[in-house]
Amino acid sequence: MPHTSVPHLRGMSLLNDASQNKGTAFTAEERRQYGLEGLLPSHVESLDRQEERIHRHLEAKPSDLERYIYLSGLRDQSETLYYRVLMSNPAKYVPIVYAPTLGAVCQQFSHIYRRPRGMYISLEMKGRIEEVLRNWPVEDVRVICVTTGGRILGLGDIGVNGMGIPIGKLDLYTACGAVPPETLLPIQLDIGTTNSALRADPLYLGLRREPPALDVLDEFVEEFVQAVQTVFPRCCLHFEDWKGTDAIRYLEKYFPRIRCYNDDIQGTAAVTLAGLITALRIKNEPLSSQRVLFLGAGSSGLGIADMLVTAMQREGLSEQEAISRMTLMDVDGLLEASRTDLSPQQARYAKDMPPSRDLLAMVKAVKPSILIGVSTCGGAFTQEVVEEMAALNERPIIFALSLPDKNSECTAEQAYTWSNGQALFAAGLQYPAVTLNERTFYPGQANNFYIFPALGLAVYATCPDLITDDMVIKAASALADQVDPAAQERGRLFPPQSEILEVSITSATRIAEFIFDQGAATVPRPQDIRAWIESLVYTPHYHAQDAL
């Protein structure tokens, strides 16, 4: 989707408008026409030449945090050039504008703040949220990524410092899925923070108060959700990094009512399912025959378990048979029937087994074929645990998904070494290849950017009234189908990150086909769905012919 063909602004106002600024790529005629003569160096550059300069600047920066700050400044100057850089090498730049660098960014967000981006809706606006949303200059918003900052990347409650997450997440919708950036809106719901250190920080930019009582929060969120439906009726609400209990509760409340999605729950579940589908193709085994042990029973662990139950039901198991194949542990140990502290979502998985806090003992008792870590408990998959998994399974599947790296349950090198190269391994971050006994292993990264940009592109195109579990499962299967047999032979569980845009368009096509087949789309079905999807995607080019 190109930008408008004629700038509406002139002179410095045009140069200061990131959506229309071309900088040194304005032609001589454009400079005369729009009052830019004398405001730019004489030489007219191509977009390619501008991109080359940005790459050189980035290489000279001493850290990824400095690269993030530089790229944020670039986005403020030229949106087109910013996305051109990101999309030129997603595998290189996504870790800078999102995890893992974004963890450090969020910790310092109020200190490195430069200029506003997105919207901040605070409790003080309760009763006026619809009026406030109308201050946003774009009418056709298609995706809002919204957070309360209640649970950010293993950092806990960091209040409005969490705004870096929806900003970064939406950048990935465009960089990895080519969703037009003008249709995306990051929002921080400022409900206060439990973090007393932040409340005492003189540079902290959010409300300096504790979060409200639950009934007040529910009223506030309900007003926000209804205001979004009124102001942006074609919008999908993407809930991101809410406190675990709130994340589950609000997804259950709104999933059947509005076009919404929770990436921490459904995105993590879908990318995990995709990796498992590929691993099980390598093993030539069905999902329905697996036994799964989780370390971590918060929103991510429960989301994965719920999706695996649904997927196993699609393979013919009853709901109870599928649930019986899931065993979950949290910080207080096994989810078992004598515990009185379980949420209703956790109680669904409670076992009639003795209490236990010992992961190794549970591996021996349950004999899982799949071990999944979403605990943020760094090093929890010990050598003894991995060796026991390898003793129980010819090819144990071990997913250590916690972020950041210090929270990972084990490293790729540990998983391969302790299993003597038997493990099929994925992590929440990208580990380098591991060479063991003259064999090279390629650890997978179960990164949600394999799922939500493609799903977002399909939803942007087809505008279904609801996003169903089956649509999310379709996103997982479409991703798994793009790992070819040769890659599977090398132990790869996901497609190359360097091909993420092509992967996302292919997945979006499959998801859109499914949405049309289900009769859920609210737009006419095109004859060639892939060509139609490709016609809708954003490409980072200036609105006029690039200068030579």
237 falls in which pLDDT band (50, 70, 90)?
Answer: very high
Predicted TM-score (pTM) above 0.85: yes
| Confidence (pLDDT) at 176 | 96
Q: How far is CA 297 from CA 154, 234, 349, 403, 478, in A?
A: 14, 33, 10, 15, 27
Residue type, position 60, single letter: A
| Confidence (pLDDT) at 501 | 95
466 falls in which pLDDT band (50, 70, 90)?
Answer: very high
Note whether 461 and 533 are within 8 A (CB): yes
Note whether 300 and 379 are within 8 A (CB): no
Catalytic annotation present for 98: yes
Q: Which residue has the tokens 């099929």?
A: 424
Mean pLDDT of 423-451: 93
- State what percent of residues in the chain have pLDDT above 70: 97
| Confidence (pLDDT) at 548 | 36
| Confidence (pLDDT) at 3 | 44
99 falls in which pLDDT band (50, 70, 90)?
Answer: confident
Tokens, residue 183? 């249709």
Tokens, residue 345? 């979502």
Residue-wise pLDDT for 170-227, tens only, equals 999 999 999 999 999 999 999 999 999 999 999 999 999 999 999 999 999 999 999 9
DSSP-assigned states of every residue in 306-362: HHHHHHHHHTT--HHHHHHTEEEEETTEE-BTT-S---HHHHTT-BSS-----HHHH
DSSP-assigned states of every residue in 240-269: -S--HHHHHHHHHHHTTTSSEEEIIIIIHH
Mean pLDDT of 383-411: 95
| Confidence (pLDDT) at 345 | 93
* Short-list 480, 481, 529, CA closest to 508: 529
| Confidence (pLDDT) at 244 | 76
Which residues, listed in sequence order, are joined to residue 435 by a DSSP beta bridge? 440
Bridge-based pairing state of the strands 119-122 and 260-262: unpaired
Residue type, position 201, single letter: D
| pLDDT surpassing 60 at residue 4 | no
Catalytic annotation present for 169: yes
Options 169, 243, 351, 474, the catalytic residue: 169
| Confidence (pLDDT) at 544 | 60
Which residues, listed in sequence order, are joined to residue 236 by a DSSP beta bridge? 143
| pLDDT surpassing 70 at residue 2 | no
| pLDDT surpassing 90 at residue 490 | no
Options 82, 83, 98, 173, the catalytic residue: 98
Q: How far is CA 117 from CA 49, 168, 178, 203, 490, in A?
A: 27, 11, 20, 18, 42
Bridge-based pairing state of the strands 119-122 and 184-190: parallel
| Confidence (pLDDT) at 155 | 78
